[in-house]
Every structure is written in C-alpha cells, then in structure tokens.
Amino acid sequence: MSGPGGIDPTAEVNDRAVVVEDLTRRFGSFVAVDHVTFDVRRGEVFGFLGPNGAGKTTTIRILAGLLVPTSGRGTVAGFDITRDTEAIKRNIGYMSQLFSLYNDLTVEENIRFFSGLYGVPRERREARRDWVLEIARLEGERRRVTGELSLGYKQRLALGCAVLHEPPVLFLDEPTSGVDPISRRSFWDLIYHLAGEGTTVFVTTHYMEEAEYCNRLALMNRGRLIALDAPERLRAGMREPLLQIRTNASARVVEALEKTPEVIEVGMFGRAVHATVRDLSRGRDAVHAALDSRAIPYESIEEIPPSLEDVFISRVHEEGGAPDE
Amino acid sequence: MSPESPRSDGAAVKAPADRDVDAIRVEQLTRRFGDLVAVDSLSLSVRRGELFGLVGPDGAGKTTTLRVLAGVLRPSAGVAIVGGIDVARDPEGVKGQLAYMSQRFGLYADLTVIENLEFYADLYRVPRGERAARLARLFRFSGLEPFRDRLAGKLSGGMKQKLGLSCALIHEPEILLLDEPTFGVDPISRRDLWLIVHEMVARGVTVVVSTAYMDEAERFDRLAMIHRGRLLALDTPDALRRGLAGEILAVRVAAGRARAARDAARAIPHVRRVAIFGDRLHLTIGSAAAEGPAVVAALRGAGFPAAESEPIEPSMEDVFIDKIGADAETTGGITRSGA
C-alpha cells in the first residue's frame, strides 16, 4: 500500500492504535466532547483524568463503539469510529471497578463463561484459559470459588477475562481502586505485560497513584483536552510555582490568601497551606505581605515540587474550573 | 483490665493528664465476625486535636475499627476508650462525643441541601441561635451554598460527600470519625473535602480518617498503616519515610522498553526492588549518590540507556510495600487478604 507522495503510511498507521481528530459530541445544546485531537501508539498505557462531567466517559464510549461522534473522525485498532462500531466492539476489552465476575462460579468457570460471551473459538478456549491462568498467576486458584478470592486476585481475574478474545485495545476504569499496594503493583505488572505484547491500554481514574503508572496522561475539562504528557513531564511543566506555608493558623492563612490576587489556588495540606502563585518572587512577597499585614503567624514559606494532583487542580482552574464549580 | 483501680500515689481515678493527651485509646482491640478476624489485637492512641489516618487496603479492618470507636459495634476483645468513655460499657455515651460519617451516610435524597442540614441540626439539637453561623462556615468550605435548594439526590457524588460531611459536622463534635470520605470522589471535590477536614482540625477537633489511598497519607499528623486487621506501623509521614531502608532512583528508559529494562535491573546487585511507572523505573537502592551512577551504568551496559535519572522521595506506597514486603515476597508478590 502506497500513500500520497509515495510515503508508505502503513508503518506509522500500524504503530498508532487510536487516532482521533476534532472529535466532538453534543447532547442537545450540551457539548460533552469539544474538538478533541490525540493519538495513542500501539502498546501505550494511556491515562484519562478529569473532574466528573469533563467528557472522559463520553470519549471512552465513542472509542469503544458505543456512541458515534457528532463530528470529527478517528480510528480504533484501524476501524473507523463512525462506520465500524460493531467491529470496534469486538476488538476491545473492558474492565470496570464493578467487575462483572460471577462470585459463585470458580475461577475456571468464570473464564469459560467469558470465553463463550466473547466468542473465543472453541479450539482456542483451552489455550486462552491456560494463558490467562498463567499471566494472572491464578493456576493455584483455578478451582476456587471466585467470591472467596481476595480483591487483588479478583482484579487480575477480571482483567484476564476482559482480554480472553485478545483485543488490541483495552479500557480500564479505576482498575486497582482499594487494593493493597503490592497487589496493585502485581496488577500493573500484568498490564505492562499486555502492553509489551502490543495491547493498547486506556485507564480512567480519579487517583493520581494509578495515573503515575501511565506512559502518558490526558487531562480533560469541560469537554476539552487541556493537557497531554508523561506524568513527570506534567509535573515539571507546571507553570505556576507552588508555595508551602507552615503555620498553626491554617484556616486564617487560607482566608487571607483567598483574597490575595497573586495567589491562584489555595488549599490545606495537613498542617500546612499550599498556594499556587503566578510568579515565584512576587508571589512569595505577596504571601508575606498578606500574612504580615493581618498579623497571622507562620513558621516558613518555601517553594515545593508540585504533585500530580496539584498540577491537575491548577490546570482545571486555569481552564475555567470544574463543571460543578 | 480495670481502668478504675486506685493508684498507689492516690491520684484521681481518671488521670486528667492522660485525658488531655489522648482523645482515643485502643488496647488489644479484636473484632471477629464468625471465623473472620477483622481487627486483630490492634493498639493505638490518637492525641487530642490530632489529624490521624487509618491507612490500608479494602478489607484491612479500617471500617470495623471506626465502627467500634463510634459505639456501633462491640469489640470481641480489648478496650477502646473514646473521649474518656469505654465504648463497650457506654456506647450511647460515646455517641454524644463524636460525629461518625460512614461510607453510606444517611442523606435524604428527596430533601434539598439546606433541608438536610436543618434536619441534622434538629437531630443533634443545635440551638437555633447558633445555626446561621455554623451553616455559613460549612457553606464557605464546602462550596455548597449555590446548591442549597437542590435535592440531595440530584447532587454529584463529590457534592453528596461534602453534604454528608457538613451534616455530620453541624453539631460541632469534639471527635470526628470519617470512613473513606474521599472514596470515588474526583480530585476537585476531594480538595474541598480536605479543606473542610483541615478546617475542623484547625479548630481543635480530633479527626480520624480512613483511606485506602496512600497518597492521602501525607496529610496526616500521624497514621496507622493497617493490613489484614493488624497494625503494620504507626508514626508521622516523615518518620515513616525516614525509616525506609535505602533510597529510590527514578530512571526514564525508551518508550515501550520498561519491562525489559526492569528485568535487566533485577540482575544488578545494588538493586533491591524495581517497579515500573510508565516509561520510568523506580529502583530501590542503598544510596542514590553512592550507587546510582554504577546502577545507571549497568543498565546502559545491558542495553537500556537512561534518558533521565533522579533520586526521588519515597512515597507512602513505598513505605507500605516495605512494611509488608518481606511477608509478601515469599508468596510471589501476591497477598491474600482475609477480608
């Protein structure tokens, strides 16, 4: 296949599991997704963040073939998101935090059930079952009743069932919510294993500790894509410095800084107050002045590196605040 | 055990000094449900005015502990003293000392925001003359004022949580117990919830918060890490971090190469533990300054040149893994939780 200008586009296209351009979805007068453009390479773990109502779920539903866009174009695993929605549904896997496992079936019985549901050819079922048991490290539990498994095991089983039909694209919704950190890392090992074999993974989450595991993060607000980069680059790229004020009077500090124009965002963090400012030196001076003029005591004011959550909140604020605010 | 036994120095039965320091004292608390030991010989104390965290995964025993402290569940064994009252002996007395927000807080979906608040103010017998000031303060921190006439059933999840917390706080308790208040809440609403909590702490209220999210552990004055009903560690976030053996070096490798690089890193002698985070590896080593360059060179030698490398602060997740690590690694990195 030869593209325009003699460039063979297949290599690049094959490397991109998901491409969307100017994706827009309206519900009546409400614009849920507003001219969103991005692409995701094959084998990438791609995180979707944003406050409730930001457009994440609508975007995911379009990518999963459950909704068609009002305008814009795109492909998922090579299938057109407007025309080929049935093919897309057969080529994706989905696991939500409320996984659909049957608690009264054994591990093996759940796998058999989902093999049938996803139309895995009969001659492939045994091989797929063994593969799932192996990668999810569930061989020793195959005859156990699912309801008796710990949360970590259940999450890995649910993931295994979601990929029985070898989907090139996988969607996960807060997949490791509530699990202990060792089980979480064990789950992510499995995700990276799948990604290493070429599965493209979308993760939606409200939790930065899950977001940290993604190769790149897309932050949405009010239907628009407002940031897209690797987690540590988002942190490094936060434009506004973050100040930490140590004080015994945090409520009064917050009240004072909310009225200080140099301060963009203010929040309490334990005993300390965190304030995002427009400019480091002017911001620091303004904070000193605001506290001194009101005789509010404090121990120190220092710049600290932002967390991913700080970046998230700052970006959402810059972009007009969350829909609920 | 007899807390009322006379002391040899003839001091008062309940030493006032102790009561000033500890808002909550738990000794060898055990709670069973049939064969399941949800809380297993747990001992801890919470100081007055402290923001204290119960941190652990689902099934660790956090909810059971809080329900015992709230006087809702009786302990199977051990003692829990809350605000000077033994919860097993006087569960009703304890309830007057505290506010408890469970995961399913009883909001009335068919009442508006302000009607729910008024309802709880009646229930807790908040004097009429004080209501306006309390509502104003709760509205200020919750951001719920613009929604005061909206039905509670029509609020978003985050706003429901904020309303539940505001209802629990309307009677200005001395002790506040919050069971996973930020569960399922988006980061913007979560920030507002924390603002309400921190404001209560700033006013001198003792607050105990449970959470499964390790990144929230940084906010607490002190925290108890709980796993399978047992106490793993109890200290300030800084002290827990300092207690971690070794340092963490974050290394960025080429896109899509993290798994192979992780396997290579495991073979490097200085490396005690490796975790993948996107295109970065977190390597636990003895000293980033002393061993970091050798580790980066060994990775490069194995075919994984580091685009960037930097020592990073360990997270509470790293600490938690360290505390349960030895136990879990012998079972292949998989934990079985009892609940």
Question: What crossing angle do the helices spanning B258-266 and A181-196 adopt, rounded to 10°?
Answer: 120
Residue B46 lies in a domain: no
pLDDT band at B105 (very low <50, low <70, confident <90, very high): confident
Chain A residue whose CA is closest to B313: A305
Residue B335 has pLDDT above 60, yes or no: no
Residue B109 lies in a domain: no
* Average pLDDT of span A151-163: 91
Contact with chain A for residue B198, Cβ under 8 A: yes
Domain count, chain B: 1
- Determine contact, residues A269/A297, Cβ cutoff 8 Å: no
Residue A290 has pLDDT above 50, yes or no: yes
Chain A residues whose CB is inside 8 A of the B189 CB are: 51-52, 322, 324
Q: Which of A21-25, B47-51, B60-64, B327-331 has the lowest mean pLDDT?
A: B327-331
Chain B residues whose CB is inside 8 A of the A183 CB are: 57, 334-335
Cα A243 to Cα A275, A301, B193, B215: the distances in Å are 5, 6, 21, 19
- The nearest CA of chain B is from the CA of A270 a distance in Å of 4
CA-to-CA distance for B278 and B175, rounded, in angstroms? 41
Residue B28 lies in a domain: no
Residue type, A169: V
Interchain contact, A192 vs B189, CB within 8 Å: no
Domain that holds residue B292: 245-313
Interchain contact, B159 vs A182, CB within 8 Å: no
Residue B290 has pLDDT above 70, yes or no: yes
- The nearest CA of chain A is from the CA of B51 a distance in Å of 8
Residue B298 lies in a domain: yes
Interchain contact, B195 vs A254, CB within 8 Å: yes
Pairs of residues, one from chain A and one from chain B, whose beta carbons lie less than 8 Å apart? 160
pLDDT band at B20 (very low <50, low <70, confident <90, very high): low
pLDDT tens digits along B67-78: 999 999 999 999
CA-to-CA distance for A185 and A26, rounded, in angstroms? 38
- b/e for B227-265, b at 16 or more Cβ within 10 A? bbbbbbbbeebeebbeebebbbbbbbbeebbbbebbebb
Helix (H, G, I), strand (E, B) or coil at A13: helix
Alpha carbon distance, N-terminus to C-terminus of chain A: 51
Alpha carbon distance, N-terminus to C-terminus of chain B: 29
Interchain contact, A186 vs B333, CB within 8 Å: yes
* Average pLDDT of span A152-161: 91
Residue B275 lies in a domain: yes
- Determine contact, residues B235/B70, Cβ cutoff 8 Å: no
- Determine contact, residues A217/A230, Cβ cutoff 8 Å: yes
Q: What is the CATH number of the domain that holds B275?
A: 3.30.70.100
DSSP per residue, A203-268: EE-S-HHHHTTSSEEEEEETTEEEEEE-HHHHHHT--S-EEEEE-S-HHHHHHHHHT-TTEEEEEE
- The nearest CA of chain A is from the CA of B4 a distance in Å of 36
Count other Cβ atoms within 10 Å, centred on residue A12.
12
What is the average pLDDT score of chain B? Answer: 86
- Determine contact, residues A95/A170, Cβ cutoff 8 Å: yes
Residue B137 lies in a domain: no
- b/e for A203-217, b at 16 or more Cβ within 10 A? bbbbbbbbbbbbbbb
What is the average pLDDT score of chain A? Answer: 89
CA-to-CA distance for A140 and B319, rounded, in angstroms? 29
- The nearest CA of chain A is from the CA of B336 a distance in Å of 6
Q: Which of A314-318, B80-84, B257-261 has the lowest mean pLDDT?
A: A314-318
Interchain contact, A151 vs B214, CB within 8 Å: no
Chain B residue whose CA is closest to A179: B57
Interchain contact, B278 vs A206, CB within 8 Å: no
Q: Which domains does chain A have, with CATH numbers?
A: 13-230 (3.40.50.300), 239-305 (3.30.70.100)
Interchain contact, B280 vs A188, CB within 8 Å: no
Nearest to A208 among B191, B215, B335 (CB): B215
pTM of structure? 0.85
B 202-261 residues inside an 8 A Cβ radius of A: 202-203, 212-215, 218-221, 227, 250, 252, 255-256, 258-260
Residue B175 lies in a domain: no
State the pLDDT at residue A64: 92
Residue B329 lies in a domain: no
Mutation for testing the B interface, residue in A180, A185, A191 having most B CBs under 10 Å: A180
State the pLDDT at residue B262: 93
- Closest CA relative to residue B258, chosen from A192, A48, A70: A192
